[in-house]
Amino acid sequence: MSFVLVQVIVGGLLLGAVYALFSSGLTLVWGMMNIVNFAHGDFVMLGMYVAYVVYTLMGGGPLLGAPLATLVLATVGVVVYFALIRDIMKGPMLAQILGTFGLALLLRYSVFWWFGANFLSMPQNIVGGTYAFAGLRIEASRLLAGVVALLVTLGLHLLLTRTSLGSKMLAVAEDQTAAQLMGIRPDTMQAIAWGIAAGATGLAGALIANFFYIVPTVGETLGIVAFVTVSLGGFGSVPGALVAGLLIGVIESLSGYLIGAIYKDIVVYVLFLLFLWFRPQGLMGKM
């Protein structure tokens, strides 16, 4: 195997871990209440801007920016749940789709209005440097994002499967009425789910901001990837999103290098559709 190929695969894995990180929130919300959040990409964008504001106003790096972005977005998530989601869940499917779509546009154009359309970028020295060993080059900021992505995704999985809070959330997802009879408040559980999902998404945004450009429309570019990752991994499955993210990252990088970048999306989406043909529930989703 040629040396460059190893670099391509490593790059793809790191990219994939980040895809997984910003997709886990989307899959969680879907698993809990069957809502597709079209504003998801714009949550990532908000996380990036929080990290940027923390840097420009307070001179803080990712040590301050990432937790703050998590906190701010978790709050946004809870507020959005009570102000919008709780009501539109009672409406028809179309209202749910258009509701979160409207939210996406509202967030995007608020940021447009506040920050303008200019591209922003974090300074190089915040998570600076590139590790080179055995000829491989790994960017510190991507490595940080990749490692945190793995930890957070695992953490979310453990939270859902190993804690009483997780059991309560799953109970609400399974059967709201039954959960209510057991003394679990569906409202509270779903609000917590939105908080966690949006918080994880904000964290992802803050970490991605260290190596990506920041612009109000960045959510469009990243949102599509999140949807593909979630449907390949299986709607509602956090580990599925992790595996799917890594797979998509590697396939994208490899086909971009070997066949040509212009064809890489064709390769990714043909494989994606073929896979769904055989396994419509995704890698780890339930039917």
Partner 1 sequence: MTLKHVTGLLCAAAMSLVLAAGARAEDKVVKIGVILPMSGGTASIGAHAKAALEVAMNIINNAHPELGNLPLAKNTGLAGLGGAKIDAVFADNQGNPATGQNQALRLITEDKVAAVFGAYQSGITLTSSAIAEKYGIPYLNSESVAANLTERGFKWFFRTTPIATDFAKIYVDFLADMKAAGAKTDAIALVHDNTEYGTSVANTISAAFKEKGQPVALDVAYPVNATDVQGQVLQLKDKKPDVIIMISYTSDAILFAKTMQSLDYKPAILLADDAGYSDPSFIKAVGKISQGVFNRSSWVVGPPGSASAVIADMYKKKSGEEMDDTVARQMQGFFVLADAIDRAGSTDPAKVQAALKATELKADQLMIGYKGVKFDDKGQNILAAGAIIQLQDGENYVSVWPKANAEKPPVLPYKGW
Interface residue list for partner 1 (CB under 8 A): 4, 7-8, 11-12, 15, 109, 112, 116-121, 124, 130, 132, 137, 139, 142, 211-213, 215-217, 220-222, 225, 252-257, 260-262, 264-265
C-beta separation of 69 from 205 below 8 A? yes
Q: CB 40 → partner 1: shortest distance, Å?
A: 15
Using only C-alpha atoms, what is the Rg of the chain? 19
The CA distance from 47 to 202, in Å, is 4
Q: Residue 77 or residue 256: which is nearer to partner 1 going by CB?
A: 256
Q: Residue 142 or residue 157: which is nearer to partner 1 going by CB?
A: 142
Q: Residue 131 or residue 286: which is nearer to partner 1 going by CB?
A: 131
Single-letter code of the amino acid located at 158: L
Q: Residue 221 or residue 281: which is nearer to partner 1 going by CB?
A: 221
The CA distance from 187 to 91, in Å, is 16
Q: CB 159 → partner 1: shortest distance, Å?
A: 28
Q: CB 147 → partner 1: shortest distance, Å?
A: 17
DSSP assignment of 69-136: HHHHHHHHHHHHIIIIIHHHTTS-HHHHHHHHHHHHHHHHHHHHHHH-S--B---TTTT--EEEETTE
Q: Residue 12 or residue 77: which is nearer to partner 1 going by CB?
A: 12
DSSP assignment of 238-249: HHHHHHHHHHHH
Q: CB 261 → partner 1: shortest distance, Å?
A: 4
Q: Is 144 exposed, middle or buried (0-12, 13-18, 19+ CB in 10 A)?
A: middle
Q: Residue 95 or residue 158: which is nearer to partner 1 going by CB?
A: 95
Q: CB 169 → partner 1: shortest distance, Å?
A: 29
Structure tokens at 201: 């998404």
Q: CB 95 → partner 1: shortest distance, Å?
A: 14
